[in-house]
């Protein structure tokens, strides 16, 4: 979740993309157009590839076009290649979710290429691990802007299209840091928990607003830490025990992406809860 990290050569998120080639009839998102923010690595990359495996064409929105010196692995073009190698279609678009013009241009690019947007995953996230007393205002604002305002801007940009289509699914990726009263599952700082709590509340409000347009709005959070480039930035090898692969998040995101307001909407849930409630398989 912090773009400043360093990590090794593994590419965890590709695991969930194995076996993209499937019959169209078996694909849960066949013909859908999805926008996934934070798709250059981690959970966003895995969800984007998982959507492609289910037949969606995917707009990959994040800032990394090339790997920066000392920065985390992963670019939008690398994710596009993963999808294309597996027979899917992706549109990588550089986008900073905190910048309204950048978000507007990204959604315009999606509409120019595909003519519609059916699914939005607000996945982009950052965290900074400072105690409040040491948190510079700029860092506080960045965390709120990426995790919360970014979801607002991206949702606002796709709502007109979804409203016209009379269907859509918006998925916000949140965290148990929003709920826990102690430090949370990882030491991601108070600003992060505040932003994710805001994202949960945003979900409830937006679901009410968009129900009449048949647009589902849900919020998905991992029950366990998920092994991603961002998470590896935070933790040493010893702390990685028990981390999950992104697979369960991908399965849940596919399930939520297939909803509209006549199905599941207004729900804030962990991947484990969705798995149990809806029989989504896996462990």
Give CA separation, 110 vs 34, 90, 91, 254, in Å: 9, 10, 8, 20
CB of 31 to ligand NAP, least distance (A): 26
**Which residues is 218 bridged to in the sheet?**
171
Cα(151)–Cα(200) distance, integer angstroms: 11
Q: Which is nearer to ligand NAP, 33 or 35 (CB)?
A: 35
Q: Which is nearer to ligand NAP, 88 or 230 (CB)?
A: 230
CB of 203 to ligand NAP, least distance (A): 13
Cβ neighbors of 191 (< 8 A, separation 6 or more) are 127, 128, 135, 139, 140, 143, 144
Q: Which is nearer to ligand NAP, 228 or 259 (CB)?
A: 228
CB of 190 to ligand NAP, least distance (A): 14
CB of 205 to ligand NAP, least distance (A): 19
Q: Which residues are catalytic?
A: 192
CB of 72 to ligand NAP, least distance (A): 6
Q: Which is nearer to ligand NAP, 98 or 218 (CB)?
A: 98
Query: Using CB under 6 A as the criterion, which residues of the chain lie in contact with ligand NAP when the complex forms?
Result: 1, 3, 37-38, 40-44, 62-64, 95-98, 123-126, 146, 173, 175, 221-222, 225-226, 228-231
CB of 92 to ligand NAP, least distance (A): 10
Q: Which is nearer to ligand NAP, 123 or 203 (CB)?
A: 123
Q: Which is nearer to ligand NAP, 77 or 213 (CB)?
A: 77
DSSP the chain: --TT----S--GGGGGGS-----GGG-TTTT-EEEEESTTSHHHHHHHHHHHHTT-EEEEEES-SSPPTTS-S--HHHHHHHHHHTT--EEEEE--TT-HHHHHHHHHHHHHHHS---EEEE---------GGG--HHHHHHHHIIIIIHHHHHHHHHHHHHHHHT-EEEEEE--GGGT-SSS-SS---HHHHHHHHHHHHHHHHHHHHHGGGTEEEEEEE-SS-B--HHHHHH--GGGGTTPBPTHHHHHHHHHHHT--TTSS-S-EEEHHHHHHHHT----
């Amino acid at each position: 979740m912090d773009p400043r990290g360093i990590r090794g050569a593994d590419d965890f998120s590709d695991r969930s993309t194995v076996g993209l080639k499937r019959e169209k009839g078996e694909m849960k998102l066949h013909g859908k157009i999805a926008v996934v923010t934070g798709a250059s690595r981690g959970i966003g990359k895995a969800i984007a590839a998982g959507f492609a495996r289910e037949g969606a064409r995917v707009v990959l929105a994040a800032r990394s076009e090339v790997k920066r010196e000392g920065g985390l692995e992963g670019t939008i073009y690398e994710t596009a290649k993963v999808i294309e190698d597996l027979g899917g279609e992706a549109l990588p678009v550089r986008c900073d979710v905190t910048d309204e013009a950048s978000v507007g241009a990204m959604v315009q690019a999606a509409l120019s290429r595909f003519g519609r947007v059916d699914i939005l995953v607000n996945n982009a996230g950052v965290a900074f691990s400072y105690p409040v007393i040491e948190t510079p205002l700029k860092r506080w604002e960045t965390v709120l802007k990426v995790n919360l305002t970014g979801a607002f801007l991206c949702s606002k940009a796709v709502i007109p299209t979804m409203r016209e289509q009379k269907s859509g699914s918006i998925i916000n990726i949140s965290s148990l840091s929003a709920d826990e009263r102690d430090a949370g599952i990882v030491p991601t700082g108070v600003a992060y928990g505040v932003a994710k709590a805001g994202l949960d509340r945003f979900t409830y409000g937006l679901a009410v607003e968009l129900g009449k347009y048949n647009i589902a709005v849900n919020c998905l959070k991992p029950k366990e830490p998920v092994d991603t480039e961002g998470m590896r930035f935070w933790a040493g090898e010893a702390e990685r025990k028990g981390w999950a692969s992104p697979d369960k998040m991908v399965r849940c995101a596919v399930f939520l992406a297939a909803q509209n307001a006549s199905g599941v909407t207004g729900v804030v849930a962990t991947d484990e809860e969705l798995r149990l409630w809806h029989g989504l398989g896996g462990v």
